[in-house]
């Protein structure tokens, strides 16, 4: 795909949704961090249901640490891998309290030192909370990037680096949200809704067999 096509694609995304945002519900950077940790291999809707009960009770590193492992598990038990996630969240809370004055850091290396926080989670926090240019490539973005030919890559890191290189600079800050929403609701995994797609005429997946 050439750069002129990419520019038109992202201009359409912006026109359709000028201020895209994550579908995770949060009111602070810490709440966002916890929600993103919980969202691994889980749906945003499922996470939102759990955090709607958890956050009114505990939504700071201190309050979640005080809640303890067993009580935390009771709030997030509807979420996949909740046992491991609960342990990571408790450990993360203690690190934030002891090393960062209970403030979520805005530096990638410090974020990735937190249990349960990998590159993708760090990218979401950096981009969504701190408005840094970062590309958190999940299954949706990986699929859309390769299927449309916006950015080809054999793994998420390749796609991440390619997207950061080829997306026009004026669209980079919000590109993560546009791509994930497009993959979630239009360019879906099993049966993409090509007839309802705003970039169908630009997509290079047309007339190709499903991957």
Over the Cα atoms of the chain, what is R_g? 18
| Other beta carbons less than 10 A from residue 99's beta carbon | 13
Q: Could you say which of 85, 138, 162, 174 is catalytic?
A: 138
Residue 59 near residue 68 (C-beta atoms within 8 A): no
Q: 71 catalytic, yes or no?
A: no
**Entry field: residues in the chain:** 211
Residue 75, classed as helix, strand or coil, is helix
CA pair distance 167, 198, nearest whole angstrom: 18
Distance CA 195, CA 151 (A): 22
User: 58: closest CA among 19, 99, 30?
Assistant: 30
Is residue 120 part of the annotated active site? The answer reads yes
Burial degree of 132 (CB within 10 A; 0-12, 13-18, 19+)? middle
* From 7, 14, 91, 120, the catalytic residue: 120
Q: Which helix (H) or strand (E) holds 113?
A: none
Q: Which two tokens stand for residue 187?
A: 């360019």
177 contacts 20 by C-beta, under 8 angstroms: yes
Q: Which residues are catalytic?
A: 120, 138
């Amino acid at each position: 795909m050439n750069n002129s096509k990419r520019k038109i694609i992202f201009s359409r995304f912006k026109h359709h949704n000028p201020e895209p945002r994550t579908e995770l519900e949060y009111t602070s950077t810490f709440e966002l961090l916890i929600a993103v940790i919980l969202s691994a291999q889980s749906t945003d809707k499922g996470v939102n249901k759990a955090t709607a009960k958890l956050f009114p009770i505990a939504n700071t590193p201190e309050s979640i640490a005080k809640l303890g492992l067993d009580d935390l598990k009771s709030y997030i038990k509807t979420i996949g891998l909740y046992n491991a996630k609960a342990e990571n969240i408790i450990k993360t809370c203690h690190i934030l309290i002891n090393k960062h004055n209970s403030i979520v850091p805005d530096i990638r290396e410090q974020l990735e030192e937190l249990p349960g926080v990998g590159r993708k989670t760090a990218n979401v926090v950096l981009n969504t909370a701190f408005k840094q240019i970062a590309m958190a490539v999940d299954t949706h973005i990986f699929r859309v990037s390769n299927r449309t030919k916006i950015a080809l890559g054999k793994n998420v890191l390749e796609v991440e680096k390619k997207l950061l290189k080829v997306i026009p600079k004026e669209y980079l800050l919000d590109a993560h949200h546009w791509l994930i929403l497009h993959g979630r609701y239009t360019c879906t995994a099993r049966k993409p809704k090509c007839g309802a797609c705003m970039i169908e005429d630009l997509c290079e997946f047309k007339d190709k067999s499903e991957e």
